[in-house]
Structure 1
Amino acid sequence: MLKSHFNLKKDETEEAESEEEPVTEAIVEEEKMVIDISEERILKKSEVSIRLSWLGKTAEGDGYTYLKATITWMKLTNIEAITCFKHLQFVDVSNNNLNIQRLQPVTELPFLILLQADNNELYTAALKTCKYLQVLILNYNQLTTVKHVFQPQLSTLEVGYNQINEIVVNKMPHLRCIDFRYNVIRELPLAMDFPKLDSLYLAGNKIKSLLGIETLTNLRILHVRNNPIKYLNGFVPELVKLQYLNLRNCKVATLRQVKKLRMLPALEVLILKGTPYLGGPGKESAEAAVEEEDPEIRVEVLAALPKLKRFNKTEYSPEERQEAKELMNQWQEEGEKDEEDDEDVAEELGEEMRPNE
């Protein structure tokens, strides 16, 4: 599955001005971990020079220069030297000792498009505004919120493996990919205002309900594996572009829940491996990783969702499609009946009436 951002870890051979916002008080609050001056590690210009790559045209188009700097695993606490390389567009400073103040020099690069700063000492993401920044990647830090992020051209925000407990994101008109995987989010906002959002990654959180996704009418990819999601409420016919839904290791247990996905006109790929419906534990485990698929359940899912092209890792065969067609005819003749105990129905109705806390 492709994500809609650049990957700085690839091999080298692969591929009107915004007003600057002041750094908020959160930055001061963030500096709970002060780096001892005796441990300071200052980046040198010569060290940047030997870590440049991606030869390309300058932003002005008047010559060629190196556009990418990979400055990782250096225990850096000061990267001011990077400001001497004004043509840089892609910067990776992962695996250093940078807090938000010490990361700010990258915002002085006038043509910065992508910034990756995984595994540093960031407690806030309150970077100064960059005119052209499109991709911001801050995995494996200590972030608890991204409410201070505002970059007018941002299209991808990736903040996995932090301590974020709610989705509070400033309205940025070009945002297309949000990645909050493996944080501690418990619920979705009941009104998410991301009109161009294409991909939403929320794996490994504590989300029980998908109520709130109704407004994401341009969403194409929804990845929520390893969440305690039991009821598939929140899906509406207006989600006309949703093609890929990953519910692996969630707690979906019945065909009745699967049938709720019928209203998604573009759904082509559904992942339910590891769910109780397929005999799994409903959570990440070695057992879920090796479980075998029941051929009858594969056909049952296709009969419920005849537009599917792939279920889990395998595309449907013509033979399976014929069996599913026969099962659909049988359901029509007998009248569909989805058994679910009264306790589950009551619990689900309670979820549907969940207030916006």
Structure 2
Amino acid sequence: MTMHHLKSGTPTEVGAGEPVPEEEPEEVLTREQASAALSHLGKAADGLRYAYLAMRLPGCRLCDISAAAAFQNILLIDVSNNRLRDGSLDVLAAIPFLVMIKAENNLLESAAMPAMPYLQLLILNGNRITHTHGIGHPLLECLELSHNQIRDICSLEPDILKRLRTLDLRANALTSTAGIQLPTLENLYLAQNSIQLLEDLQSLTSLRVLHLRQNPLRLLTGFTNKMAHLTYLNLRGCKIEDMSELKKLACLPVLETIVISENPMVEAAEEEYRVSLLSELPRLKRIDKLAVEEEELMAAEELIAARTEVLEGEDEQVADEEDEI
């Protein structure tokens, strides 16, 4: 998921002012250009003949790719780093067995397009997309929308997106996880947003990997034991100040790896935070980049025992005071 950036035009001096970039010329895809971009000879979908299965057209300044629809056997198309706008991808619905569309770094403001019956991978990173309406491909397994301008998640229908396993929404403008209600989802990438609230997590019953890195997240309210498959949680560079917040993760039955470096609580605790964390989450196998060691588990057990002894002493004191009343 490497990001590529559009090349700016040659600067032109305008009077005594600052240099301004020239507008990049826009091109319409020709049939000859599309034919020259074909690759990967293989069996066609009908299994009866051979055909080229991929078309790669990155960085061609294209604003219109209608000519691509004439190549009915392609399964993959890459039109990244062009000048495509809303509606430009609709023509691809005429290609019957298309499996992958890669259209990073264009000028798209919407991911909406006609439903494609075999589309499994849709990569629209680095556009100007502001919403998640109109994504209804029934076999879609991976949806990448990172580095866009999405503020809210809506219309990602679980009854339609029954095969979606990976959702990448890094570097958008989300303030909450609300609207991500996809029980088939296994990998969710939400780093570098503005998330402060964890909502609708109870719907993510198949989730295994959750990235929340570099969000202004202070509270961990929202996790639930319905997230019975979550093994990896990345909270690096968030704003968690109190180690007690991590107690809220005890409901996650198979959590094995957590990344919490660069949080205020870790910087305050220095080396002691690992043992404190293990006393709350003893099933952890890795904290940050380091595996949990036996000595740390033993120290955590001692801390748990000391804490239990203090609590039992407090209970006895309360009981004695009640007897005296």
Question: After TM superposition, is the score higher than 0.5?
Answer: yes
Residue of structure 2 equivalent to 1:18: none
Measure, in 1, the Cα distance between the counterparts of 2:254 and 2:34.
47
User: 1:81 deviation in Å?
Assistant: 2.4
Tell me, yes or no, if structure 1 residue 90 matches structure 2 residue 76.
yes
User: 1:153 deviation in Å?
Assistant: 1.7
Measure, in 2, the Cα distance between the counterparts of 1:47 and 1:8.
25
Residue of structure 2 equivalent to 1:173: 162
Counterpart residue identity of residue 44, structure 1? T
Residue of structure 2 equivalent to 1:119: 105
Residue of structure 2 equivalent to 1:270: 258
Q: Give runs of aligned pairs for residues 1-357 of structure 1, distance below 5 A.
A: 39-171=25-157, 172-189=161-178, 192-279=180-267, 294-335=270-311
Q: Tell which has more relative contact order, 1 or 2 (C-alpha 8 A, sep 6+).
A: 1
**Alignment length (residue pairs):** 290
Measure, in 1, the Cα distance between the counterparts of 2:286 and 2:48.
48
SS at match of 2:205: coil
User: 1:226 deviation in Å?
Assistant: 1.1
Measure, in 2, the Cα distance between the counterparts of 1:298 and 1:56.
53
Q: TM-score, normalised by structure 2?
A: 0.82
Question: Which stretch shows the higher mean deviation, 222-231 or 51-60?
Answer: 51-60
User: 1:319 deviation in Å?
Assistant: 2.5
User: 1:265 deviation in Å?
Assistant: 0.5
- After superposition, the CA RMSD in angstroms is 2.3
Measure, in 1, the Cα distance between the counterparts of 2:38 and 2:307.
63
Compared CA separation, residues 85 and 8, structure 1 to 2 (3 A): farther
Compared CA separation, residues 308 and 64, structure 1 to 2 (3 A): farther
Query: Is the CA contact (8 Å cut-off) linking 1:138 and 1:159 kept in structure 2?
Result: yes
Measure, in 1, the Cα distance between the counterparts of 2:141 and 2:2.
16
User: 1:123 deviation in Å?
Assistant: 1.3
Q: Please, which runs of 5 or more residues in structure 2 have no aligned partner? A: 4-22, 313-325
User: 1:192 deviation in Å?
Assistant: 4.3
Measure, in 2, the Cα distance between the counterparts of 1:8 and 1:112.
22
User: 1:110 deviation in Å?
Assistant: 0.8
Compared CA separation, residues 130 and 170, structure 1 to 2 (3 A): same
Query: Is the CA contact (8 Å cut-off) linking 1:139 and 1:159 kept in structure 2?
Result: yes
SS at match of 2:28: coil
Q: Deviations over 1:282-324 (max 9, x none)?
A: xxxxxxxxxxx93321122122111111111111122222222
| Percent of aligned positions that are identical | 38
Question: Which stretch shows the higher mean deviation, 318-327 or 151-160?
Answer: 318-327
Query: Is the CA contact (8 Å cut-off) linking 1:8 and 1:92 kept in structure 2?
Result: no
Q: TM-score, normalised by structure 1?
A: 0.75
Measure, in 2, the Cα distance between the counterparts of 1:105 and 1:8.
26
Q: Please, which runs of 5 or more residues in structure 1 have no aligned partner? A: 1-6, 10-35, 281-292, 337-357
